[in-house]
Amino acid sequence: MSDVISSFFKGLEDSGHQSLLERQRGKIRFDVLGGRRVDHWLVAVDRGDIAVSHGNGDADCVVRTDGPTLEGIVTGHVNTMAAFLRGQMTLEGDLEMLVFFRRIFPGPPDARGPARRTVEGVMS
């Protein structure tokens, strides 16, 4: 099991609450295929409150993917929508759950953001 993925979900669990998911209620499960085993991450969202478990329970949205793809996603190197269109993830159930969930995946780590000029000079 990837440490990167584990620590992402651990961090999520520790946060207890995600304000960007306050309109969401439901469960999303990530099934991560690695060789002959499948890891399950089940995230229950209740108006922003988060509970993470490692089980194979029922979910409103099931995302199937492989380790490297999910690692890329939780580190901001892979874009969720693009990976989905490429077929690196498949989805069963409520697509909206994933659309909202992507809010809490990190963005690209090397992003500069808009170059904004201030009275002192240029900041980025």
Partner 1 sequence: MSGELVKILDGNTFVVSDDTGDIEASLTDPTGLFSADTRFLSRWLLTVNGDRLTALSTDDLQYFKARFFLVPGTGTVYVDSKLTVIRTRSVGDGFHEELELFNHDESPVDLTVRIDVGADFADLFEVKDALQKKGTYSTEVQDGRLLLVYERETYRRETLISASSPAAYDEHGLTFEVHLDPKERWSTTVDVVTALLGAGVRKWHAKYAHGAKRARPNMEKDLETWVEEAPRVESDWEPLKATYRRSLVDLAALRFRPAIAAGGSLPAAGLPWFMAMFGRDSIFTSLQSLPFTPELAEVTLRTLAAFQGTHVDDFRDEDPGRILHEMRYGEMAAFEERPHTPYYGNADATALFVVLMDEYHRWTGDTKLVRELEQEARAALRWIDEYADLQGNGYISYKRRNEETGLENQCWKDSWDSISYHDGRLPGFPRATCELQGYAYDAKMRAARLARLVWKDVPFAERLEKEAADLKRRFNRDFWVDDGEFFAVALDADGVQVDSLTSNNGHLLWSGIVEKSKAKRVVEHLMGPRLFSGWGVRTLAEEEGRYNPIGYHVGTVWPFDNSFIAWGLRRYGFKQEAAQIAAGILDAAEFFDGRLPEAFGGYPRSLTRYPVQYPTACSPQAWSTGTPMLLLRTMLGLEPIDDHLIVDPGLPEGIGALAVLDIPGRWGHVDAFGRGLIDMERSGPRMGRQLGQPRVLSAKGSRSGKGGRRK
Nearest approach in angstroms of CB 98 to partner 1 is 9
The arrangement of strands across the sheet holding 49-53 comes to: 49-53, 37-46, 25-34, 61-66, 89-93
**Quick one: which of 54, 63, 67, 55 has its CA closest to 5?**
67
116 binds partner 1 per the rule CB under 8 A:
yes
19 binds partner 1 per the rule CB under 8 A:
yes
79 binds partner 1 per the rule CB under 8 A:
yes
**Identified binder of partner 1 from the candidate list 22, 46, 49, 60, rule CB under 8 A:** 22
Quick one: DSSP state of residue 77?
S
Nearest approach in angstroms of CB 1 to partner 1 is 22
What is the length of the chain?
124
Gap between the Cα atoms of 101 and 21, Å rounded: 7
Q: Specify the residue, 59 or 104, whose C-beta has the smaller distance to partner 1.
A: 104
Nearest approach in angstroms of CB 23 to partner 1 is 6
Nearest approach in angstroms of CB 51 to partner 1 is 21
84 binds partner 1 per the rule CB under 8 A:
yes
Burial of 37 (0-12, 13-18, 19+ CB in 10 A): exposed
